[in-house]
Copies of this chain bind each other. A is one copy, B any other.
Amino acid sequence: MKTLNVGLVGCGFMGRTHSNAFLSVANFFDLPVKPVLKTVCARSSDRATAFASRWGFESSVNAWRSLVEDPAIDLIDIASPNDTHAEIAIAAAKAGKMVMCEKPLGRTAAESEAIVAAVEQAGVANMAWYNYRRVPAVTLAKQLIDDGQLGKVFHYRAKFLQDWTISSELPQGGEGLWRLDASVAGSGVTGDLLAHTIDTALWLNGSIAEVSAMTETFIKSRKHNLTGKVEPVKIDDASAFLARFANGSLGTFEATRYARGHKALYTLEINGENASIIWDLHDLHRLQYFDHRDEGRVRGWRSIHVTDREHPYMDRWWVPGLQIGYEHTFIHQVADFMKGLADGKPASPTFREALATDYVTDAVLQSAANRCWKSVRGQ
């Protein structure tokens, strides 16, 4: 089988999900091209070596430029903090490598535009890791919408609720905590969590025309883990916005890390003229579906256990009733990327498609700052 050599940047949480996906995808999917874990890069050589050993990378390096310059590498996969995305992605594209990048693409839409320009100019395959599109239940929602089951859409609702930063003792920045450091992350929950909800929304319900947003930083200063200094917190702890979609439907979006009791509760709901859909990440293998065309007396929300062979991706896994979990979304994404390479139809979201999300998050942050409605930049 044809193979494709992967050079991974980043050994954190996302480094693990990506490695697992590249490693196991061929056991479950019939691929035109099989990924090979070639080289991993981390700033700490020790960490890189240990990671390579655990996951079976052939080698490790401590500078991403070594990867970009290595002729043996076909694809650079960026799983490092947000402030590194643009530089690496652009260099990789210039070196003619395919590029995958964790979301959000850049810290700002401007950074993302530069990334998009680079990959398009280089003509290299690219994909952003908005993994939730590949939850089978979410993909099923997309199929139902594309089939016209919902009819005209009136409402789109999404939330991404967490509670892990409520303690004022939690430091900002440093190992495992860069998501609280605005200079690294770009923003707080807007880029981290809202970005996921926006990507799915654009995919399922089309473009967003304008937004009115508010953001809040509940804990105003925190100790920085690296410097030890107590400094102002510059990220948004919570972010919510009203939206008008191009198709005339209304949207409400919210993300926070201060919703006690919710670990990673990404929920979405779409209300159409004929049917409605609800999904949530805490029970990701289920889709709630209401079809008004059912006979009245037995009409109700259907709890679909999305584990049948006819459900998206599920013919590759176990038997009906046996659920898969979070990491499988990354495996599906790799499978689709490889298929896209072979059939010439790039798997979505490409970087250009991911840029659309950054235009919305930019508008959200501007609207919150200016206290007014803000049009979302089109492409």
Q: Determine if A297 and B274 form an interchain contact, defined as CB atoms under 8 angstroms apart.
A: no
Between A and B, 24 residue pairs with Cβ closer than 8 Å are A17-B318, A20-B27, A24-B24, A140-B297, A143-B297, A155-B258, A163-B292, A212-B371, A213-B242, A240-B242, A240-B250, A240-B252, A256-B271, A259-B271, A260-B276, A261-B292, A264-B321, A296-B308, A298-B304, A300-B302, A302-B303, A303-B303, A324-B326, A324-B327
Taking CB atoms, residues of chain B closer than 8 Å to A322 are 263-264, 281, 325-326
* Closest-CB distance, A214 to chain B (whole angstroms): 5
A307 at the interface (CB under 8 A from B): yes
Give bound CA distance, A272 to B260, whole Å.
6
Chain A 189-220 interface 0/1 with B at a Cβ cutoff of 8 Å (1 = within) = 00000000000000000000000111010100
Taking CB atoms, residues of chain B closer than 8 Å to A26 are 54
A84 at the interface (CB under 8 A from B): no
A166 at the interface (CB under 8 A from B): yes
Taking CB atoms, residues of chain B closer than 8 Å to A291 are 298
The 7 closest A-B pairs by CB, nearest first: A264-B321, A263-B321, A261-B290, A300-B302, A300-B304, A322-B326, A325-B325
Which single member of B162, B281, B300, B304 contacts A299 (CB below 8 Å)? B304
* Closest-CB distance, A34 to chain B (whole angstroms): 11
A284 at the interface (CB under 8 A from B): yes
Which single member of B154, B258, B285 contacts A259 (CB below 8 Å)? B154
Q: Determine if A259 and B155 form an interchain contact, defined as CB atoms under 8 angstroms apart.
A: yes
A103 at the interface (CB under 8 A from B): no
A238 at the interface (CB under 8 A from B): yes
Chain A 274-313 interface 0/1 with B at a Cβ cutoff of 8 Å (1 = within) = 1110000111111101111010111111111101101100
Taking CB atoms, residues of chain B closer than 8 Å to A328 are 325
Which single member of B155, B261, B294 contacts A276 (CB below 8 Å)? B261
A144 at the interface (CB under 8 A from B): yes
Taking CB atoms, residues of chain B closer than 8 Å to A299 are 302, 304
A71 at the interface (CB under 8 A from B): no
Which single member of B214, B261, B300 contacts A242 (CB below 8 Å)? B214
Give bound CA distance, A297 to B308, whole Å.
8
Within 8 A of B (CB), among A298-353: 298-305, 307-308, 310-311, 317-328
Taking CB atoms, residues of chain B closer than 8 Å to A317 are 327
Q: Determine if A260 and B326 form an interchain contact, defined as CB atoms under 8 angstroms apart.
A: no
Taking CB atoms, residues of chain B closer than 8 Å to A157 are 254
Closest to A299 in B: B304
Q: Determine if A263 and B298 form an interchain contact, defined as CB atoms under 8 angstroms apart.
A: no
Taking CB atoms, residues of chain B closer than 8 Å to A276 are 259-262
Closest to A261 in B: B290
* Closest-CB distance, A131 to chain B (whole angstroms): 11
Chain A 346-374 interface 0/1 with B at a Cβ cutoff of 8 Å (1 = within) = 00000000000000000000000001110
